[in-house]
Structure 1
Amino acid sequence: MLPALSSFIEIDTQGMASPCLIINSPNTDERPAGTSIDMIVIHNISLPPNEFGGPGIIQLFTNQLDANEHPYYAEIAHLRVSSHFLIRREGELIQFASCAQRAWHAGVSSWEDRERCNDFSIGIELEGSDECAFEDAQYLTLQALIDALKKRYPIQHIVGHSEIAPGRKTDPGPFFNWQRITPSS
């Protein structure tokens, strides 16, 4: 059984969360030397689109997505992407990369005249889409994770993917309730 929702999460000195299921993604690399981690980017993801609970997200982040399993997968199976964290619909937390590493979640992006947001951000994927509301359990885990990240890193900004890649990305989408999270608890 996977780790359950916890209202208390800790980030250790190596950038690993607990309690959390760890699934290492090969789609990471080193952050530029001297880079301060000061931003959280919130995303949404569902694979296949608008379907929840399957193995598609994990398979995508670990380069194991079968292009023949679903028509949409044929379009994206070649991608090499990851995120630091995924929060499933029931609040389960999965970590794919140490926060000390650069995960490949933001793509071409900029924030306040800084390019390459992957260099200085932590990516959090919420299992969901632009077409439905997120679950209470997801907001609880997200807030606990934000609190833990703020204790470990000098987080100054919490933004949506759409804010750092306008016109290219829409997530976390219109159903994400920003009022459900507090920048500092």
Structure 2
Amino acid sequence: MPGPGQWQDGWWSGARRVESTNFGPRPEGSQVSLVLLHHISLPPEEFGGPYVEQFFTNRLDPAGHPYFATIADVQVSAHFFLRRDGEVVQFVSGEARAWHAGLSAWQGRGNCNDYSIGIELEGSDSQPFAPQQYLALWPLLQAICGAYPITAMAGHEHVAPGRKTDPGPYFDWRELARRFPGLELPAQVTA
């Protein structure tokens, strides 16, 4: 797995690059300081297949599954997607503002998309993540922390409480805290 320094224009060499058009510029003077963790499965509770990539690149066929018709016109993205087998896919440069957090706030500061990097893990609230995902996540987080002045990591559930639940009850926050002891984490994670 490539090390922390292997970046070019916000693209990490350890990821397969699949460019999304669902992004914009970060506000001038905005520094990336937060990593936001999410989970996604398309269709819900099903893993594998091309659907997340299609969704983040506006190519999801609304007729492909009844659920797809409800989200086919939504334009979202994340910087990274970690498949169940540990493959890392990057959709948006870390220098750009991906559309992953929506209405959100961290420590009283709104618009988390402006200053965060979003990582989607293929998963759901109802089952554990695969060990291969963690084996890929730790070097990815190390690489992000080496490239950007990251001060905190949180879940979508922490920046949009009541609206979002991801990365969910199975995410290993204790191991994340052990591996990244200097970072601010949500209070309920460190309690």
Q: TM-score under structure 2 normalisation?
A: 0.91
Matched, 1:110 2:105: yes
AA at the equivalent of 2:125: D
Aligned to 2:189: none
Partner of 1:49: 44
Structure 1 residue matching 2:97: 3-state secondary structure:
strand
Check if 1:183 corresponds to 2:158.
Answer: no
Deviations for 1:123-176, whole angstroms, at most 9, x for unmatched residues? 000000011100111111111011011111110110000000000000000111
State the distance in 2 between where 1:140 and 1:8 align. 13
2:67 is paired with a residue whose SS is helix
Shift of 1:12: 1.5
In structure 2, what is the equivalent of residue 92 of structure 1?
87
Find the residue that maps to 1:71 and give its secondary structure: coil
The answer to whether the 8 A contact 2:36-2:153 is kept is yes
- Within a 5 Å distance, the mapping from 1:1-185 to structure 2 comes to 6=1, 8=3, 10-181=5-176, 182-183=179-180
Contact 1:10 1:19 (8 Å CA) reproduced: no
Q: Alpha-carbon deviation of 1:18?
A: 1.1
Distance 2:130 2:138 in 1: 13
Taking the aligned partners of 1:55 and 1:124, their CA distance within structure 2 comes to 17
State the partner residue of 2:187.
none
Structure 2 portions without partners, runs of 5+:
183-191
Number of residue pairs matched by the alignment: 180
For residue 8 of structure 1, report the CA deviation from its aligned partner. Answer: 3.6
TM-score, structure 1 normalization: 0.93
List structure 1 segments (4+ residues) > 3 angstroms apart after TM superposition. Answer: 7-11
Q: Which amino acid letter does the alignment assign opposite residue 111 of structure 1?
A: W
Q: Following the alignment from structure 2 to structure 1, what is the Cα–Cα distance between the partners of residues 136 and 34?
A: 18
